[in-house]
Amino acid sequence: MTDPVILWFRQDLRLHDQPALIAAAHEGPVIPVYILDDETPGDWRIGGAQRWWLHHSLTSLAADLREKGSRLILRRGRAADELAKLVEQTGAARVHALRHYEPWWKEAEGALGDRLSLHDGNHLAHIEDVRTGSGTPFRIYSSFWKALQSFLPPEEPMPAPRKIDAPAHWPASDTLSKWQLLPTKPDWSGGFDEDWTPGEAAALERAKEVGDKLAAYDTARNMPAEEGTTRLSPHLHFGEVSARTVWHQTDGHRDAVTFRQEVAWRDFTHGVIMALPDYGDRNGRDRYDRLPWRTDKQARIDLKAWQQGQTGYPIVDAGMRQLWESGWMHNRVRMITASFLVKHLLIDWREGERWFWDCLVDADYGNNAVNWQWVAGTGVDANMFGRIMAPLSQSEKFDAGDYIRRWVPELAKVGDAAIHDPDDAGCRPRGYPAKIIGHREARERALAAAKKL
């Protein structure tokens, strides 16, 4: 019998449009493998919310593989070590995988050497080909988007194989329940079950609905109380649907440009971390290493208030509570809450980045790092630190009050005129905190800090 080949799943938990699977199936019997590696990524091991999603996504993938006559092998440990063991135990001739750009994958990929075949399939284009005229990765998104046009449209997605040949002997596998990915003490995931259905089938269904969103997308995507976004981000992050599948769902729609630019943003951020692997840990511009972030006891108290949605700014508190209860936050509100932490509270952006990493079901290393550094003004593509978003103005512009009332029930009976700033209106309900700091005071403090650079 032909030697088996290993299909190494990472954040590409799907059978549809899966080039690594197609290549593996052409070579021989396939051993699909997922390795839970909490060691190699160090501080970037997947967060609590992602673990909830991963449990359900792997459950779905295992069921899909069984329908194709295959199964999913689960291993836990350093990916480099576990893959080496599997190659030895199975006599596998080759390991096939999709290409990823998070820095912690390099160890395992390097250890496999010539046995590893990497395939494109997670992005709209081969990111390493999208370069500036001088051959360097792009650091400005608008320039990246312009250059990307030469590589578009992306290839048509591949169908899933009807059957996957199984090896004569299966290697040992962990059981998913032993990984204890789901929260138990306490179980904080009740809202997740109400909001999300992980897995490839659900991802493909949601992708089919994209066209219905496009006509109003340019405006509705900024309104947190509306269902104006596709909510595809966690499905894309875990690779339950490919970016090019999502892209081609917009074919024939005249209103697709803004949405397609959002899909391509992920390609851009992954290009940034390919060039700057430690972007999640250090400022994109060294001069900001001198920024005097607050680190005293009061700063820790303020950080906790921000994390718990107790800042006294309703739009900020609504976003932070949505994050905790659902594992997701509307993108406009992500910008507002991030800016508030960095500019109003003068707390290091990395504190917020880590909190989002643990709480978001769609926490993506590239997106998270680039977005936080853009808001903070510290990144390679950043705006100026001195540009300070006014949360009250943002709230009045993008929310009529429905979003705040949903996530901050203490304010449910506050009228439209006062709901954005009940403190200032003199109608703050008992039990809801006063503003942690005034906007003018926060702005002056942030600008004073910027002058010290």
pLDDT(334) > 70:
yes
pLDDT, tens digit, for every residue of 107-151? 999 999 999 999 999 999 999 999 999 999 999 999 999 999 999
The predicted model gives 363-382 an average pLDDT of: 94
pLDDT above 80 for 76: yes
CA distance 51 to 236: 15
Both tokens assigned to 262: 């959002």
Active site residue: 349, 355, 357, 407, which one? Answer: 349
Domain 125-154+191-275 falls in which CATH fold?
1.25.40
What mean pLDDT comes out for the span 317-330?
98
Measuring CA to CA, how many Å separate 207 from each of 10, 20, 292?
21, 21, 44
Residues of the chain with CATH 1.10.579.10: 286-450
pLDDT at 185: 84
Task: Kindly state which CATH superfamily the domain 286-450 is placed in.
Answer: DNA Cyclobutane Dipyrimidine Photolyase, subunit A, domain 3 (1.10.579.10)
Task: Give the model confidence (pLDDT) of 178-199 as tens digits.
Answer: 999 999 988 899 899 999 999 9
Closest CA to 100 of 9, 199, 30: 9
Q: How confident is the model at residue 1 (pLDDT cuts 50, 70, 90)?
A: low
Per-residue model confidence (pLDDT) at position 311: 99
Above 90 in pLDDT, residue 383?
Answer: no
Pairing outcome for strands 5-9 and 73-76: unpaired
Q: What is the predicted pLDDT for the residue at 384?
A: 77
Q: Which of 226, 293, 396, 410 is catalytic?
A: 293
The residues of the chain that CATH labels 3.40.50.620 are 1-122
Tell me which of 104, 107, 331, 410 is the catalytic residue. Answer: 331
Query: pTM above the 0.95 mark?
Result: yes
262 in catalytic set: yes
Report the 10 Å Cβ neighbour count for 109: 18
Task: State the distance between the two ends of the chain, measured CA to CA, in whole angstroms.
Answer: 66
* Residues 169, 328: Cα–Cα separation, whole Å: 41
Q: Note the helical H segments in 209-311.
A: 210-220, 233-237, 243-248, 257-275, 297-307
Active site residue 306: no
| Strands 116-119 and 30-36, sheet pairing | unpaired
Residue 453 has pLDDT above 90, yes or no: no
Asked if 59 and 176 touch (Cβ cutoff 8 Å), the reply is: yes
Pull the structure tokens for residue 397: 């512009």
Q: Please state the rounded mean pLDDT for residues 347-365.
A: 98
pLDDT in tens, 268-323: 999 999 999 999 999 999 999 999 999 999 999 999 999 999 999 999 999 999 99
Beta-strand pair 73-76/30-36: parallel
Q: What secondary structure letter does DSSP report for 316?
A: H
Active site residue 122: no
Report the alpha-carbon distance of residue 9 to residue 33 in Å, rounded.
Answer: 6
Whether 328 sits among the annotated catalytic residues: the reply is: no
The second-level CATH assignment, the architecture, of 1-122 is 3-Layer(aba) Sandwich (3.40)
